[in-house]
Amino acid sequence: MASLTGKVAWVTGAGSGIGQAAAIALAKEGATVVLTGRRKEPLEETAAAIKQAGGKAVVKTGDLMKAAAVTRIAADIDKKFGRCDILVNNAGLNIVERKWSQLTPAGAEMVIDGNLSSAFYCSTAVLPMMRRHKGGVLIHTSSMAGRQASILSGAAYSAAKHGVVAMSHTINMEECVNGIRSCVVCPGEVATPILDKRPIPITPEERARMAQSEDVGDLIRYVACLPPHIVINEVMINPTWNRGYVANLQRMAEQQKKAKK
């Protein structure tokens, strides 16, 4: 029997990238997966891939930046299944105009709502179901920008992802007595569609060296399959060819070369 047979997992941002990979991985472990995002077609593609592999998936579209939409979807999950054992808070976005000199209130609102508010809404919506069953695991996709502020990622994205990290830790502080576990995943560069919003385009060669969606999806699957007495509070995952490290090494080499002249 698969590790998650009989469990219900709600995956947000499930139409592409890490969310899609996580949903497929959880379904392969036997979980019934509820797929959520704003666009129905990508979610249906994920559902089709799951069902083709013999898994179970349900599509629930909605704008998770709206608290009322989250409440509606969570109520549908509770009514249909009577439980939510796993929440993967993966919905997120970024914008091209991310420097302070470019950022507008509307842009900041979009990034913060898309990455932080949506995660809060979904967490508060599933916790009553988890408390009722004396267990559950919440897994949140943050970022390395959630640990170290990044000009590349932008002020709003860095601030929102820092908030996701803090949110996850406070869930463990309060809900550990209810058997509920929360893990925040902080990926470095992952070859997902969000890279298309980078001000400086990423080449196919660079994408190939990055972590892939399936790598992070498998990590999420691992966390979800841990025994109930264990929680991984926070985990980082990066490509071996870390572009930040490589850039630092190149700068050091250039400085050493100049010093010898």
Question: CA–CA separation, 227 vs 150, rounded Å?
Answer: 35
Distance CA 70, CA 95 (A): 23
In total, the chain counts a number of residues equal to 261
CB 243 within 8 A of CB 205: no
Bridge-based pairing state of the strands 8-12 and 86-89: parallel
Nearest one of 218, 168, 197, 180 to 92, comparing CA atoms: 197
Residues noted as catalytic: 157
Q: What is the CA radius of gyration of the chain?
A: 19
Rounded Cα distance, 115 and 27, in Å? 24
- C-alpha–C-alpha distance, residues 74 and 259, integer Å: 61
Three-state SS for 236? strand
Determine the Cα–Cα distance for residues 157 and 147; give it in Å rounded to an integer: 12
Give the integer Cα–Cα distance in Å for 231 and 222: 11
| DSSP H or E segment with residue 141 | strand 136-141
What is the distance between the alpha carbons of residues 102 and 175, in angstroms, rounded to a whole number?
40
Kindly provide the residue ranges of all beta strands, DSSP E only, lying in 66-152, ordered along the sequence.
86-89, 136-141
